Amino acid sequence: EKVLRQQIKSRPLLWSTLGQSLMKHGEWQEATLAFRAALKQRPDAYDYAWLADALDRLHQPEEAAAMRRDGLMLTLQNNPPQ
């Protein structure tokens, strides 16, 4: 994991993948850090949703709701009504 972290510093997709892997192993706090790193480099609705799920597991429903809202707003911005 340490080697992977060194190689993915500037690759948001790899941060997201790491976060998903950490979630599968129940490493909720570490997963939130990975998703936040991905989102810092590249906002993505899926990463907001994954982060919200991890925050729910950490019993942080208010922040989870805020992440879901941010993901929804991003989706709406990227897909305006036609």
Write the pLDDT tens digit of every residue in 21-64. 999 999 999 999 999 999 999 999 999 999 999 999 999 999 99
pLDDT digits (tens, 9 = 90+) for 6-24: 777 778 999 999 999 999 9
For the domain 2-78, what is the CATH code?
1.25.40.10
Asked if residue 34 lies in contact with residue 18, where contact means CB atoms within 8 angstroms, the answer is yes
> 4 versus 38: which is more confidently predicted?
38
Phi-psi label, residue 80: left if phi above 0, alpha if psi -120 to 50, beta otherwise = beta
Domain ranges in the chain are 2-78
What is the pLDDT, as a whole number, of residue 5?
Answer: 66
What pLDDT does residue 9 have?
73
The pLDDT assigned to 54 comes to 99
Task: Fill in the DSSP letter of residue 66.
Answer: H
